[in-house]
Amino acid sequence: MTAIETIPEKLGIAEPWVEKGGVHWLNPGTLSVRALTAEMNACHARFVTITAYQLPGNEGFRMEYHWDLDGRLLGFPFMLSEKSIESIYDLCEAVDWIEREIHEEYDIDFAGRAYEPLLLREGDKLGVNLREEVAR
Amino acid sequence: MSYKIPMGPYHPALEEPYKLDMICEGETVRDVKLHIGFNFRGIEHLAETRNYFQVIALMERVCGICSNIHTLTLCQAMEQLAGHTPPPRAQYIRVIVAELERLHSHVLWAGIAAKLMGFKTMFMTCFEIREKVMDVLQAISGNRVNYAMNRIGGVNRDIEDPPSILKMVEALESDMAHTIIPIFTTSTTARSRCAGVGVLTHEKAISCGAVGPTARASGVGQDIRRAAPYAAYSEIEFDVPVQQEGDVRARLLVRALEIMESCRILRQALAKLPPGEISTGDAKFAFITGTATSRVEAPRGEVFYSVSWKENARNPSRVHVRTPTYVNMPTVRWMVRGARLADTPLIQASIDPCYSCTDR
């Protein structure tokens, strides 16, 4: 078995990978993002990015975490009903800027970390959903 | 006693605005804080208000240097959602334009690096050669900066006379092989200003998720053209230059070697350019509901696009762009720690930063 094939079993996920839209997707179910990150670190995957989607109405947010493993792009979607998810910054240094950016743009809290302005300036108010502000 | 020295957001060493707050002890930099966002234009949000033609023109303007790469990555993602596969000739033309863009970007960077080394004659030489690369791009596309080459399902313009373009590329290759490459690889000035300066260790390059020449100069060998081939790269032979030292000189050498590899790719692509159509010819597109991602090896490293669409919609519902400088720029903090203050302009420039890309 290749490294990618062993990942679902290591994570305790029964569902297989689904290849769609250029990504190998795996539904993490109830798995925490921190447990996922620990496994990605263990298999030497390279963190690529997080993409945040605001869902319509009060459906919350979808957060897609991407890693690269030997040229294959892996994707893990997390659904957030609350505006909060655990930070993985202490496990994965590369996530710093994108967590800060998503916090600035969507007001999503990455629990367990401190923020400094990234795209905004010092003194600007952090933790405002800028998209909703623009719509207003 | 430590003191803080700001560099930027407007500074002669910076091509675009960003800011480094450096904590120094004497002439030694102990730490640095990076500030970006001075070029933030809200392009991702703006993309949601543009239809499938307009969004291509918009994303071409994310960056003034690797403009083509942005439309290529976007179009590849949109093609997945619209169910279109570009014909083989279009795939080769995409490779040709992408490599010409890499050449002009690397030569531009070489000029800027030379200027920061105090090597002004080399700066002028590089910019003279860069003009010739832009002449080739103009001969193909009619444009020198935003080439407007990519469309959903192919490209907008054909290369009607490949031998004449090949001749221009061979002249360029000869110019570079006799100037940029030997000077940067052997000159005492380049060596003394760059060797052992601004080291990014292999471990830090990995933990920061660095990409492109910045990562390859620290022994991380990934190149998306090889690892996850797109367009016609799977049919072309090329090497991926990797250096182990992680210093400014290693980053310089990687780019110098990549210039020669780009010329090698261009020669093959122009010789093998298959006959046929340059696009699927469609003017209207129906997108399925879903998300598609695409990755391309830009001159500075991997560009990532995630594009979401809803069926029957004319506008994307989300476009997320992760550019290479976005992940490479945080590595500057580790490169400048312990460096001499006078070396910091060159060190920060050695990642070939693009702030417009980073801020979007």
Contact in structure between B269 and A31 (CB atoms under 8 Å): no
What is the pLDDT, as a whole number, of residue A16? Answer: 87
Is residue A66 within 8 angstroms of chain B, CB to CB? yes
What is the pLDDT, as a whole number, of residue A56? Answer: 84
Contact in structure between B296 and B85 (CB atoms under 8 Å): no
Rounded to 5 degrees, what are φ and ψ at B64? -90, -10
| Residue positions counted in chain B | 360
Flag if B293 and A98 touch (Cβ within 8 Å).
Answer: no
Q: What is the pLDDT of residues A58-93, one digit of tens each?
A: 888 999 999 999 999 999 999 998 889 999 999 999
Spell out where chain A has E strands.
18-20, 23-25, 46-54, 61-69, 72-80, 84-86, 109-111
Flag if A22 and B308 touch (Cβ within 8 Å).
Answer: no
Flag if A23 and B293 touch (Cβ within 8 Å).
Answer: yes
pLDDT at A122 > cutoff 90: no
Burial of B178 (0-12, 13-18, 19+ CB in 10 A): exposed
Residue showing tokens 């350019």: B273
Measure CB to CB from residue A48 to each of B308, B318, B322 and give the nearest one: B322
Measure CB to CB from residue B322 to each of A49, A53, A70 and give the nearest one: A49
Give the span between the Cα atoms of B138 and B147, in whole angstroms. Answer: 8
Is residue B45 within 8 angstroms of chain A, CB to CB? yes
Please count the helices (runs of H) and the strands (runs of E) in chain B. 16, 8
Is residue B290 within 8 angstroms of chain A, CB to CB? yes
Contact in structure between B323 and B177 (CB atoms under 8 Å): no
Residue showing tokens 């000077």: B183
pLDDT at A1 > cutoff 60: no
Residue A104 carries which DSSP code? Answer: H
What is the pLDDT, as a whole number, of residue A107? Answer: 87
Give the closest-approach CA distance of A3 to chain B in angstroms: 15
Is residue A21 within 8 angstroms of chain B, CB to CB? yes
Say which range, A38-47, A125-134, B300-309, has the weakest mean pLDDT. Answer: A125-134
Which residue of chain B is at minimal alpha-carbon distance from A52?
B320
Is residue B61 within 8 angstroms of chain A, CB to CB? no
What is the pLDDT, as a whole number, of residue B70? Answer: 95
Going residue by residue through chain B, which has 360 residues, state the pLDDT in tens, using 9 for 90 and above: 788 999 888 888 787 888 889 999 989 999 999 988 888 888 998 999 999 889 999 999 998 888 999 999 999 999 999 999 999 999 999 999 999 999 999 999 989 888 888 888 888 988 988 998 899 899 899 998 899 999 999 999 999 889 988 888 888 888 888 888 888 788 888 888 888 999 999 999 999 999 999 999 999 999 999 999 999 999 999 999 999 999 999 998 899 899 999 999 999 999 999 999 999 888 888 888 999 999 999 999 999 999 999 888 889 999 999 999 999 999 999 999 999 999 998 899 899 988 888 888
Flag if A21 and B80 touch (Cβ within 8 Å).
Answer: yes
Is residue A18 within 8 angstroms of chain B, CB to CB? no
Give the span between the Cα atoms of B299 and B105, in whole angstroms. Answer: 6
Give the span between the Cα atoms of A73 and A23, in whole angstroms. Answer: 5
Instruction: Please report, for residues A33, B118, B119, B340, B360, the alpha-carbon distance to residue B191 in angstroms, rounded to integers and kept in the order given.
Output: 45, 13, 12, 16, 35
pLDDT at A2 > cutoff 70: no
Give the span between the Cα atoms of A79 and A85, in whole angstroms. Answer: 10
Q: What is the pLDDT of residues A14-41, one digit of tens each?
A: 888 998 878 999 998 888 999 999 999 9
Chain A residues with CB-CB distance to B227 below 8 A: 68, 70-71
Beta bridge partners of B155: B150
Q: What is the ipTM of this complex?
A: 0.88
Measure CB to CB from residue B36 to each of A98, A119, A134 and give the nearest one: A119
Which of A40, A59, A73 is the mutation pick for testing B, counting most B CBs within 10 A?
A73
Among A60, A64, A103, smallest CA distance to A82 is for: A60
